[in-house]
Amino acid sequence: MVHMNQGQGETSYARNSRIQNAQQNRMKPLIEGSIFELCSNNTLFPGKILIADLGCSSGPNALALVSIAVEAIHSYCLQFEQTLPEVCVLLNDLPDNDFNTVVKSLVTLRQSKKPNVLTGVTPGSFYERLFTSGSMHLICSSNSLHWLSKAPEHLTRNQIPAYDMDEHARCESLPIVLEAYAQQFMEDFTLFLKLRAKELVPGGRMVVSLVGRHSDVTASKFSHLWETVAQILSVMASEGVIDKAKYDSFYVPMYGASSEELMEIIQEEGSFSITDMRVYDPATDMNNALFTSSWFINHLRAIFEPIIVEHFGDVMNEFVRTAEQRWTLEGSVQDERAKYPRAMQVVSLAKA
Ligand SMILES: C[S@@+](CC[C@H](N)C(=O)[O-])C[C@H]1O[C@@H](n2cnc3c(N)ncnc32)[C@H](O)[C@@H]1O
């Protein structure tokens, strides 16, 4: 079960997601554009509009996208002197998400916004149906769709390690591993589009961002973060801190797609047209001085700690020690970021 580090502690997602928040702000013009289109066509939602964020997690980011949408609706109605519609805001994540924190922040949203905002949570996987048919107007998702529904079965069934400790074996199996991950992403993202197409009204909109890779970077289709985690764990396995067999059976269900792959899947699936698509390096949103090793370790823990602890038990002290050593011995976090350029994909879609 995937979920981010819960609560408000030092290594929680709530306190280690500023970079993701900067990425959410990059989606603002696309969400505003979608709201403008929806509001201009007022046959779409006579009097009410339903919006959702899928993979909301917890902390300040959980409300960021829906808040942008609610503000945009209010601005539109003010500017064009239209009656405010009722707005229903629904937040989704997997059931192990910290929904206690989410629900408290939803109450704040209701109080701070105009009284016509109603709120709710929809726990469940976004690889399943979440909403009733033809009910949703705008669906958003940031930083979540690179999480797959499961590890690729071809690898788990044939016990092919995702990131072999032995470099030679890793290079040999890399094409098979990457193909299996790409195939799983294709199946998952296709299913996601089909499900959301059922749930959106005709003309409904979707704005999503996910961690991907630049088209010309063929070396690795894992996200850089997962690869860093795999390398830290591989050192721990070679030192006997974690069991080698356990290491070999650890698969993070995460894949970094290129914009070409995304476009191909969207066109092949056929329910949506692409209205805007952007790729950018998330590092440009952050002051370089903030990339200290302790910041980066907390960032990794906020995202990967639950999945690591579930598989290996509580090995987090050793994980932190090994990670600290890595950036003392092998150059700074900044050097590492420069070596592996990252790409955020942002796509705005309209249901055909
Ligand atoms: C990195 S967090 C992103 C949170 C927030 N949207 C942001 O941009 O900061 C990814 C979230 O996606 C959720 N997630 C992963 N797979 C999911 C699935 N199949 N269904 C729903 N949520 C999922 C995780 O639980 C996690 O909370």
Total structural domains in the chain? Answer: 1
State if residue 208 touches ligand 1 by the CB under 6 angstroms criterion. Answer: no
pLDDT at 331: 65
pLDDT at 232: 93
Domain CATH for 25: 3.40.50.150
Is residue 11 included in any domain, yes or no? Answer: no
pLDDT at 228: 86
pLDDT at 245: 93
pLDDT lower than 70: segments of the chain: 1, 42, 44-45, 112-115, 216-224, 285-289, 329-332, 337-341
How far does the centroid of ligand 1 lie from the alpha carbon of residue 97, in Å?
Answer: 9
State if residue 209 touches ligand 1 by the CB under 6 angstroms criterion. Answer: no
pLDDT at 264: 97
Is residue 276 included in any domain, yes or no? Answer: yes
State if residue 127 touches ligand 1 by the CB under 6 angstroms criterion. Answer: yes
pLDDT at 1: 63
Is residue 263 included in any domain, yes or no? Answer: yes
Ligand 1 atom closest to residue 2's alpha carbon, by position in its atom list: 25
How far does the centroid of ligand 1 lie from the alpha carbon of residue 262, in Å?
Answer: 18
Per-residue pLDDT of 118-139, as tens digits, reads: 999 999 999 999 999 999 999 9
How far does the centroid of ligand 1 lie from the alpha carbon of residue 118, in Å?
Answer: 22
State if residue 189 touches ligand 1 by the CB under 6 angstroms criterion. Answer: no
Which protein residue's CA is at the shortest distance from atom 23 of ligand 1? 55
Q: Quote the distance between the C-alpha of residue 291 and its chain's center.
A: 21
How far does the centroid of ligand 1 lie from the alpha carbon of residue 55, in Å?
Answer: 3
Which protein residue's CA is at the shortest distance from atom 24 of ligand 1? 3
How far does the centroid of ligand 1 lie from the alpha carbon of residue 239, in Å?
Answer: 32
Is residue 245 included in any domain, yes or no? Answer: yes
Is residue 2 included in any domain, yes or no? Answer: no
Angle between helices 316-329 and 224-238 (to 10 degrees): 100
Is residue 215 included in any domain, yes or no? Answer: yes
Which protein residue's CA is at the shortest distance from atom 10 of ligand 1? 144
pLDDT at 329: 65
3-state class percentages of the chain: helix first, strand second, coil last, to nearest 5: 50, 20, 35
pLDDT at 23: 82
State if residue 12 touches ligand 1 by the CB under 6 angstroms criterion. Answer: no
How far does the centroid of ligand 1 lie from the alpha carbon of residue 125, in Å?
Answer: 9
How far does the centroid of ligand 1 lie from the alpha carbon of residue 270, in Å?
Answer: 25
DSSP per-residue string spanning 71-136: HHHHHHHHHTT-PPPEEEEEEEE-TTS-HHHHHHHHHHHHHHS-TTEEEEEEES-TTS--S-TT-E
Which protein residue's CA is at the shortest distance from atom 3 of ligand 1? 143
Is residue 8 included in any domain, yes or no? Answer: no
DSSP per-residue string spanning 24-76: HHHTHHHHHHHHHHHHHSTTS-SSEEEEEEES--SSTHHHHHHHHHHHHHHHH
Is residue 84 included in any domain, yes or no? Answer: yes
Residue span of the structural domain in which 212 resides: 18-351
State if residue 126 touches ligand 1 by the CB under 6 angstroms criterion. Answer: yes
State if residue 299 touches ligand 1 by the CB under 6 angstroms criterion. Answer: no
